[in-house]
Every structure is written in structure tokens, then in C-alpha cells.
Amino acid sequence: MPKINPQRLLNDLKHLRTFGATGPGVVRLSLSPVDMDARRWLAGRMSDAGLSATIDGVGTVFGRSRNAGPALLIGSHTDTQPTGGWLDGALGVIYGLEIARALAECEETRHFAVDVASWIDEEGTFSGFLGSRSFVGEDVDEAIRGARNREGVLLGDALKQAGLIDAPCVRLDRARYRAYLEPHIEQGGRLEAHGKSIGVVTTIVGIRELKLRFSGQRNHAGTTPMSIRRDAGAALVAFIARMDEAFRALADADTVWTVGRIELDPGSFSVVPGAAAMHLQFRDASAERLHAMETALAALIRDFNAEGKVSVAITDSEPPEAPVVMDPALQAQLADAAEAIAPGQWERMPSGASHDAQVIAHHIPACMLFVPSIGGVSHDFIEDTAEAHIVLGCEVATRAAAAILRKTSG
């Protein structure tokens, strides 16, 4: 059975952390100079591990085993949020590197093929999931021509600056790959609250994103009696309360919804808002529940408009993301490995966050493994995971990787 080197694993994670280190966290935005430094370092570590390493035409770092296959692909991302943690994405990439080394160092598994990827721009600095979408053959040319970061830099210009614009892109070889594994920190508090060390992901939740606009009448805040006001801001607040009640009646323990932004027009102390808008997002692992929430929201809008004072309409909507179920057979392999190494310390759970696995799962069988996040915190500088959990998670992932390859090779 292959054995990981815990100190090597931790050393690589901690060295990757130095690229863009900001206090306890990391700022390493896709295709920034420090991100490219990190990618070149990672490609070097992949080469040291015996992989054929490249940085492709969109910025994905890809390490290909010299073994013929069938292959297991392991990956995640090493770009961060503007105020990022040191493990979000990075953990899965360095797990992949360590698993490739561990299997190569074991006589029983040295002939197995493990490829490792650090997908570019999972966090959406320019265009979310750019690397994994490019890998599976989605057309990303429009994004390269038109996507911009917060400073207005075009993605195509950033790729030119990084020296990648003419590099070939890595593409999915369906004959080679049997499965994709993405280890990750949980980014929530469920495992910690339940006293568990490992999460076997069942589903990556679906997402709905909507913008609702409330239309009333702008008026003087001092001279307009409350009884005749058509206050769009007050209507928005009342609507949120009704929506919260309706969604709670449909939700289970993992359903979430968020009003992430509220806009008032004109936004003055002395003016009754004539218009208001809210940006709403809700997530769930059940497509049926997401549909029920959409139906409930539509009914609330009809009822609200029937009252007459302030009207509300959905004015903008992002394309819906459907829930993506992880491959049941791969879930079972992860569960078997977790029970063998950490009996009783694991559970099945959905992922409330999006991951590259949801892109790849439409093309090859995919699975995910979680380790706990301290305090349930992620996308923040204080994001952290206990070293014991980091090591344990890699041991489970390594055992599962060997089992998956043993079965597919057999």
C-alpha cells in the first residue's frame, strides 16, 4: 500500500503559501505576476516528481504521468480570492502531487498513472472555471477576447503578458482517463460541528442568481406622510421577510439563500426611495427543491404586485447551475478508504460551494473529498485546517486513488 510523506506534503503546501502571502492568508489572483511565479514553481515540483509538466495556453499547470494509463486525474486550483486563504484549492493540487509521488514510490502501484492539474481561474478573476472548461473542450475564445478583471485588464492581454497566448491547451483524452478526484477543504463548519475528519461529497449544489427590482415613487422624506408613501426600500425589506418565511418552509438543513447586495435609489437620508434592487442567490443539492423555491418566489411577486403600492419584477438573472451528482462508485471508493483509515470519522455530505469537479463530471466520472475548515471559515485570510486533518485527508485520498486505479486497471 502506498504511503505519503507527511512532511513533504506540508512543506510543499507551506512553500506554495509564500507566493502572495499576506498575513496568514494569500493574495494570488489568476495570471498576476505572483500567480505565474507560483505556477512555474509548481511545474518544477511536478517535473521533480517524474511528471511531464506544462503550463498551457490558458494558464493551467498540468503534470502528466509517463505511465500509459488508464489514468486518474487529480486536481483543483491555486488561484485565490482577493482576500484568500492558503488552502482553498491549493490543498487539492498538492494532494495530487503527493499522491503521484507516493504511488510512484510503492512497488505495488508504481505502474499506475496519476496526472495532476492546477486549473486556472477557478475563482473567476477573469472567467470562472476557465481552465477546466478549456480542458473539457468548451469554447473559451469569447472569454479570452472579452473577459476583464476588476482593473479592466483583458484576459487575452493577461495571457500575452504571461507569455501563454500561443501555448497549446491541454485537452481531455477520454481514452486515458477513468476518473477525476478533487480533494478540498470543506469551506464550511459541518464536519467540525459533527466531530468528523473526512467528508465524502455526494452532490455539488445547484445555484440560482436573480436580481429583483422594486418600483415605487421618489418623494420628500420630511413632507410625505407614511400612509401615502410608495417606498421601494421599505417594500424590499418587507419582501425579504416574506421570502425568508416561504423559503424556510421548503428548506432542509443544507438549503441556503442570501441577499448579497441591496441598492436604493437615490440613497439619500432625505428622499423616500423610488426604486430599490436586491441581488438574490439560493443553493440546494435538489433540483426539485430549487424549482419549488423559484415557484414560491414567483408567487410572492404576484401577491406583492397585487397589493399595488410598489411593484416588483425580476430584472436580471444569471444562467442557472444545476446540481451535479458525484459518481456513486467513486463515492464508495472514498468511503471505503475513509472507513479503513479513519473509522467512524467520516460522513457523506453535499458541497455548498462550486468546484471544477462540476465541470469535469459531465465528461468523466468525478468525486470529491473534504477535510474540515477551522471555524468553518474560507475565502478569508484566517482560513485554516489542522495539520493532522491535512495529513489524514491525504492518506485517505491516496488509499482511494490506489483502489480506483487498481479496479480500472484490473
Q: Pick from 300, 317, 334: which residue ends a domain?
A: 317
Identity of residue 355? H
Helical pair 90-104 and 387-409, crossing angle rounded to 10 deg: 50
* Same domain (yes/no): 141, 27: yes
Q: How far apart are CA 350 and CA 325, in angstroms?
A: 9
Q: Look at residue 132 and tell me if it is in a domain.
A: yes
Judged by DSSP in three states, 387 sits in helix
Q: Pick from 317, 345, 371: which residue ends a domain?
A: 317
* Same domain (yes/no): 292, 160: no
362 is in an annotated binding site: no
* Same domain (yes/no): 312, 328: no
Q: pLDDT confidence of 226, banded at 50, 70, 90? A: very high
Q: Look at residue 395 and tell me if it is in a domain.
A: yes
Identity of residue 39? R
Q: Look at residue 64 and tell me if it is in a domain.
A: yes
Q: Report which secondary-structure segment, H or E, holds 6.
A: helix 6-17
* Same domain (yes/no): 191, 116: yes
259 touches 287 (CB < 8 A): no
- Buried b or exposed e, range 289-326, using 16+ CB within 10 angstroms: bbebbeebbeebbeebeeeeebbbeeeeeeeebebbbb
Q: How far apart are CA 282 and CA 259, in angstroms?
A: 9
383 touches 185 (CB < 8 A): yes
Q: Look at residue 306 and tell me if it is in a domain.
A: yes
* Same domain (yes/no): 103, 143: yes
Of 335, 367, 359, the closest CA to residue 136 belongs to 359
Q: Report which secondary-structure segment, H or E, holds 291.
A: helix 287-307
* Same domain (yes/no): 299, 335: no
Judged by DSSP in three states, 204 sits in strand
184 is in an annotated binding site: yes
Query: 4-34, pLDDT tens digit by residue?
Result: 999 999 999 999 999 999 999 999 999 999 9
Query: 158-175, pLDDT tens digit by residue?
Result: 999 999 999 999 999 999
Beta bridge partners of 73: 115, 180
| Phi, psi dihedral angles at 255 (to 5 degrees) | -75, 135
279 is in an annotated binding site: no
* Same domain (yes/no): 404, 353: yes
* Same domain (yes/no): 257, 192: no
294 is in an annotated binding site: no
Q: Look at residue 1 and tell me if it is in a domain.
A: no
* Same domain (yes/no): 153, 236: no
Judged by DSSP in three states, 215 sits in strand
* Same domain (yes/no): 183, 239: no
Q: How far apart are CA 365 and CA 178, in angstroms?
A: 7
* Same domain (yes/no): 162, 198: yes
Q: Look at residue 385 and tell me if it is in a domain.
A: yes
77 is in an annotated binding site: yes
* Same domain (yes/no): 330, 310: no
Q: Look at residue 287 and tell me if it is in a domain.
A: yes
Question: Which structural domain, as residue segments, surrounds residue 259?
Answer: 211-317
> 316: Cβ–Cβ under 8 A, 6 or more apart, which residues?
210, 211
- Look over the chain and give the mean of its residue pLDDT values, rounded to a whole number: 97
User: Beta strands of 120-190 (E only): which ranges?
Assistant: 177-185
Number of domain units in the chain? 2
Query: 292-349, pLDDT tens digit by residue?
Result: 999 999 999 999 999 989 999 999 888 999 999 999 999 999 999 999 999 999 999 9
Q: Identify the CATH number of the domain in which residue 237 sits.
A: 3.30.70.360
Query: 67-105, pLDDT tens digit by residue?
Result: 998 999 999 999 999 999 999 999 999 999 999 999 999
Q: Pick from 263, 291, 317: which residue ends a domain?
A: 317
CA distances in angstroms from 7 to 12, 13, 130, 387, 394, listed in the order given: 9, 10, 32, 10, 12
Its pTM stands at: 0.94
Residue-level pLDDT at 410: 65
150 touches 83 (CB < 8 A): no
